[in-house]
Amino acid sequence: MTTNSAGELHRQGRIEVVCGSMFSGKTEELIRRIKRATFARQRVIIFKPQIDNRYSEENVVSHDSNAVTSTPVSCATDILRILPSTGEADQRRYDIDVVGIDEAQFFGDDLVDVCNELADNNVRVIIAGLDMDFKGKPFGPMPGLCAIADDVMKVHAICVRCGALAYVSHRLVHDENQVLIGEKAEYEPLCRECYKKSKTQDL
Ligand code: ZN
């Protein structure tokens, strides 16, 4: 149960959140951490919500098609059901070293308890998700996950209008549903100033 100089933890519970707008490199950062754990021969599994099937049912795919295999689940508690068990009751209930969760914003608030349960059982949990929806409101379980996390990294896209750091995913199509699975045709990353301007234009 030690931390080496690179900050890697071996079989010690921990929750890491990588959050930001669309096109900020969240999934790339998740994949980077997962691959590094895989190189260290740690047992890794990645989950994503079933709702997100833009590219592939079984892969976590970033926008640059850097893919790793993942398991789609319909709700957060399915994660605990699917994980291999050690048969032991305390501390090491799950026979896995690292659990990755992509597109975490689409899960329910119960993902917070699921992540705590994993970390309490010595699993390293790495979560990637959108911090805000297209209206700039905190998205799903992300605020709760940031609160319980040992480490939070906020990554930024570049504002497509002015080149400053972006903070929100502005929706280019008129649809009021919070969940609209989309890509470059539907969303653009904007900084706070450009987002304010775009809102007055949208009215
Ligand atoms: Zn801007």
Give the tokens for residue 185. 């045709």
Give the tokens for residue 184. 């470059």
- Per-residue pLDDT tens digits for 168-191: 999 888 878 878 776 667 899 999
Distance CA 60, CA 38 (A): 15
Q: How far is the CA of 167 from the centre of ligand 1 (A)?
A: 9
Q: How far is the CA of 177 from the centre of ligand 1 (A)?
A: 24
Q: How far is the CA of 198 from the centre of ligand 1 (A)?
A: 10
pTM comes to 0.86
The active-site residue out of 8, 28, 58, 103 is 103
| Among 54, 28, 27, residue whose Cα is nearest residue 130 | 27
> In this predicted model, which residue has the larger pLDDT, 177 or 47?
47
Q: How far is the CA of 126 from the centre of ligand 1 (A)?
A: 30
103 part of the active site? yes
Domain edges within the chain: 2-156
- Per-residue pLDDT tens digits for 104-146: 999 999 999 999 999 999 999 999 999 999 889 999 999 999 9
Judge contact between 111 and 143, C-beta under 8 A.
no
Q: How far is the CA of 135 from the centre of ligand 1 (A)?
A: 16
CATH of domain 2-156: 3.40.50.300
